[in-house]
Amino acid sequence: MDRRKFIKNASLTGIGIAAGSTILSCAKTEKNKASKAVVNNNNFPIAICTWGFVNANAKAGQDLDAGINALDAAIAGVALEENDLLNTTVGNGGAPDREGNVTLDASVMDSNGNSGAVANVKNIANVALLAKKVMTETPHVMLAGKGAEAFAYTQGFKKENLLTEASKKAWEEWKQSSEYKPIINIENHDTIGMLCIDKAGDIAGACTTSGIAYKMKGRVGDSPIIGSGLFVDNQIGAAAATGLGEEIMKTVGSFLIVELMRNGMHPQQACEEAINRIVTKSNTYKNFQVAYIAINKAGQTGSYCIHEGFTYMKYQNGKNKNITSEAFIKT
């Protein structure tokens, strides 16, 4: 966007411009002193991701430090989890649906507003990269099921059996009761949603998951739905979600957070408001988890969740920290 258009949009959305830097004007509460957050490229790069995925976030951060762009760094970071057989919530080794099929969902968004997604894909581990291929190599935004899998082979992806012996054994045990009950804070990790700001200050993100364990065959969650599991607007910021996808989709959570930031909220406040939308509408929120992370154009971050136990990673200036999220329900 040229400078004239940016200034015009900025005046419409409440973002102030100062000479040589952008000032984000945000709500002025004691808790969220975000007003006058100055976009300063010395703050960058930054990588954040859901849960305590230390290695994935470090990988993205180091790639960003080496000058890799935000999207490719995010995809490289989440790929570590997609390839980790011990991680039963993402990629290879993910928990199957109730019929024993491991099906993966993923989405990506770049800093130009382009997006790609895949849903319900079998036999392919690196689905975030596949989502990027949908974005760059097809006229579409999302491919699902067998079509997505067939497209993957045309792009050189290899076929892998994603059901590990351990996941198969756990599924067979689950079948004894067949009780579908999404677990709050599964093994203290889950979907990985990653948001990166590269050296140039551009924002992109990736989100990848095997979805809720023992879901119905064909079920797709929030992670591949642009605006639900992930949303990026390079002028404003980005958000990503984890937890019960059905609730995230009903409130279009990640898009909501970015729009709230556009209207001046700090990422922390915006995440809190998105959780508030869920808990005020749902009578059953005590039984499920939803958690959000967000980052704005100045590199300020926030997170909020329904139940305690959610953490997120933040990489900046060579340091990779695990941050405990505040929660709506405090014990």
Contact residues for ligand ASP (CB under 6 A)?
A: 190-191, 209, 211-212, 221-223, 242-245
Do 106 and 207 contact (CB within 8 A), yes or no? yes
Residues near 217 by beta carbon (within 8 Å), at least 6 away in sequence: 97, 98, 99, 101
Q: Between β-strands 230-233 and 311-316, what pairing exists: parallel, antiparallel or unpaired? A: unpaired
Q: Residue type for 40, please?
A: N
Q: Is 191 a catalytic residue?
A: yes
- Nearer Cβ to ligand ASP, position 89 or 268? 89
Active-site annotation holder among 191, 209, 251, 301: 191
Min dist CB 230 to ligand ASP, Å, is 11
Among 22, 49, 41, 6, residue whose Cα is nearest residue 204 = 49
Residue 223 or 301 with smaller CB distance to ligand ASP: 223
Task: Give the Cα separation of 312 and 321 in Å (integer).
Answer: 8
Please, which residue, 103 or 269, has the CB nearer to ligand ASP?
A: 103
Q: How far apart are CA 101 and CA 112, in angstroms?
A: 35
CB of 306 to ligand ASP, least distance (A): 12
The dihedral of CA 88, 93, 94, 96: what is its sign? negative
**Alpha-carbon span 15 to 261, nearest angstrom:** 10
Query: Please, what is the minimum distance in Å from the beta carbon of residue 245 to ligand ASP?
Result: 2
Look-up of token digits 């039963």: 88
Q: Tell me how far apart the alpha carbons of residues 302 and 289 are, in angstroms, rounded to a whole number.
A: 17
Do residues 180 and 214 touch, judged by C-beta distance below 8 A? Answer: yes
The encoded tokens of residue 289 equal: 């988890």
Report, in Å, the least distance between residue 209 CB and ligand ASP: 5
* Least distance between ligand ASP and beta carbon 42 (Å): 33
For residue 306, give both structure tokens: 């329904």
Residue 231's alpha-carbon distances to 115, 172, 238, in angstroms, are 9, 36, 6
Q: How far is the CB of 223 from ligand ASP (least distance, A)?
A: 5
Phi, psi of 178 (to 5 degrees): 50, 35
* Nearest to ligand ASP of 163, 244 (CB atom): 244
Any bridge partners for residue 204, and if so which?
196
> Least distance to ligand ASP from the beta carbon of 309, Å?
12
Q: Which is nearer to ligand ASP, 97 or 190 (CB)?
A: 190
Burial of residue 144, with CB atoms counted within 10 A of its CB: 0-12 exposed, 13-18 middle, 19 or more buried: middle
Which is nearer to ligand ASP, 68 or 249 (by Cβ)? 249
Q: Which residue has the tokens 């099921």?
A: 145
Give the nearer residue to ligand ASP in terms of CB position, either 254 or 316: 254
What residues are annotated to the active site? 191
